[in-house]
């Protein structure tokens, strides 16, 4: 979707658009926009993707809200857990979520690793003894199929399990082609972890993309981010989790929002989140209930909010 079309729908955003876009690009796919109600100023899908004046004034936000920098042994690699290594295949996405915890990527830096950098990342992951490698980004499905398949093949047989963490099945479902799905299924076990925050994101096109993956034997899980003004409502979360399970997708994580600079307007306190989560758990089966986790700025990795509430630095969380 081009800027003129988006601004035509929401002329009230013109005043701060350029500044917000310079900090973190505004990009929305046509597919995702077709699910937005532009006449609703509080539309929960629009809120995720349209720039806001609040992004420009967030002094308490952090540039590295989950402490990735200290856990990056070489460019494009994050290694926080002994048995898992994360490789960033690109910084590009089909659509940019305004709350993204990687939104402070320096735009002056390259958007993709060089061949040498990617080779070094793969070699590191192979040597690490990791059981699982997570292909992330940006969006790992923003790279071509061949590159994705080459990376998976280069990691095997050293790395038994691959995970592709992608929002593309939700934001650009046409990206999930028969060819992509066949390629992933033939390299099993490759798990797809999608990212859907609101039940209205599950359009018929998205259903088809999820069906393709699941029918081919690619297991699919979802991670959602708890976001003020988007899904901070137990009815919305119940509907989302049930809708996912009906489609064969396991709700995996509900992430407490990270305190990334420019996303303060999405923040909730851990106590608010926990009270929502307790209400959610009372309504859902174990299968439909995600884990409510936070990735604190100290880089220790994801922890359950419930078990660690007392140890969280609430000024940052
Ligand atoms: S798709 Fe993922 S990586 Fe890309 S902007 Fe959204 S949250 Fe960030």
Give the number of the atom of ligand 1 that is nearest the alpha carbon of residue 165.
2
**Model pLDDT for residues 196-238, shown as the tens digit of each residue:** 999 999 999 999 999 999 999 999 999 999 999 999 999 999 9
What is the Å distance from ligand 1's center to 197 Cα? 12
Rounded CA-CA distance 109/131 in Å is 30
Give the number of the atom of ligand 1 that is nearest the alpha carbon of residue 167.
1
Average predicted confidence (pLDDT) for the chain: 94
Given this model, what pLDDT does residue 208 score? 98
Rounded CA-CA distance 300/62 in Å is 16
> Is the model more confident about 5 or about 178?
178
Is ligand 1 within 6 A of the CB of residue 138?
yes
**Model pLDDT for residues 119-158, shown as the tens digit of each residue:** 999 999 999 999 999 999 999 999 999 999 999 999 999 9
Give the whole-number percent of the chain exceeding pLDDT 90.
88
Best of 107, 167, 194 for a ligand 1 pocket test (most atoms within 8 Å of beta carbon):
167
Domains in the chain, please, with CATH?
3-311 (3.20.20.70)
* Residue 317 scores a pLDDT above 70: no
Give the number of the atom of ligand 1 that is nearest the alpha carbon of residue 171.
1
> Is the model more confident about 273 or about 10?
273
Q: Quick one: average pLDDT of 294-305?
A: 93
**CA dihedral sign of residues 306, 65, 289, 34:** positive
Q: Quick one: average pLDDT of 238-259?
A: 98
What is the Å distance from ligand 1's center to 140 Cα? 10
Rounded CA-CA distance 244/207 in Å is 10
pLDDT grade for 309, boundaries at 50, 70 and 90: confident
pLDDT grade for 6, boundaries at 50, 70 and 90: confident
> Is the model more confident about 124 or about 310?
124
Instruction: Give the bridge partners for 35, in sequence order.
Output: none
Rounded alpha-carbon distances, angstroms, from residue 118 to 55, 111, 135, 152, 183: 32, 13, 12, 12, 20
What is the Å distance from ligand 1's center to 224 Cα? 12
Tokens encoding 65: 């809200």
Given this model, what pLDDT does residue 105 score? 67
């Amino acid at each position: 979707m081009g800027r003129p079309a988006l601004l035509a729908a929401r002329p009230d955003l013109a005043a701060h658009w350029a500044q917000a876009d310079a900090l973190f690009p505004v990009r929305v796919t046509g597919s995702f926009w077709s699910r937005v109600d532009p006449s609703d100023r509080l539309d929960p899908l629009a809120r995720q993707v349209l720039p806001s004046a609040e992004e420009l004034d967030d002094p308490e936000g952090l540039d590295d809200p989950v402490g990735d920098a200290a856990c990056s042994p070489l460019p494009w690699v994050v290694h926080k857990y002994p048995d898992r290594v994360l490789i960033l295949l690109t910084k590009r996405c089909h659509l940019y979520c305004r709350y993204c915890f990687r939104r402070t990527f320096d735009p002056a830096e390259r958007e993709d690793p060089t061949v040498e950098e990617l080779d070094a990342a793969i070699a590191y992951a192979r040597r690490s003894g990791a059981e699982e490698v997570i292909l992330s980004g940006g969006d790992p499905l923003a790279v071509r199929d061949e590159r994705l398949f080459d990376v998976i093949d280069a990691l095997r047989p050293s790395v038994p399990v691959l995970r592709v963490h992608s929002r593309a099945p939700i934001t650009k479902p046409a990206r999930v082609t028969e060819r992509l799905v066949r390629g992933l299924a033939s390299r099993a076990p490759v798990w797809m972890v999608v990212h859907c925050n609101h039940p209205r994101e599950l359009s018929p096109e998205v259903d088809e993309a999820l069906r393709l993956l699941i029918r081919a034997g690619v297991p699919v899980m979802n991670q959602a981010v708890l976001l003020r003004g988007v899904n901070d409502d137990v009815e919305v979360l119940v509907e989302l989790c049930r809708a996912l399970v009906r489609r064969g997708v396991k709700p995996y994580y509900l992430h407490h929002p990270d305190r990334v600079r420019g996303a303060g307007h999405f923040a909730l306190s851990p106590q608010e989140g926990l009270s929502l989560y307790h209400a959610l758990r009372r309504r859902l089966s174990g299968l439909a209930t995600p884990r409510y986790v936070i990735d604190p700025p100290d880089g220790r990795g994801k922890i359950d909010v419930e078990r660690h509430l007392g140890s969280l630095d609430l000024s940052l969380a």
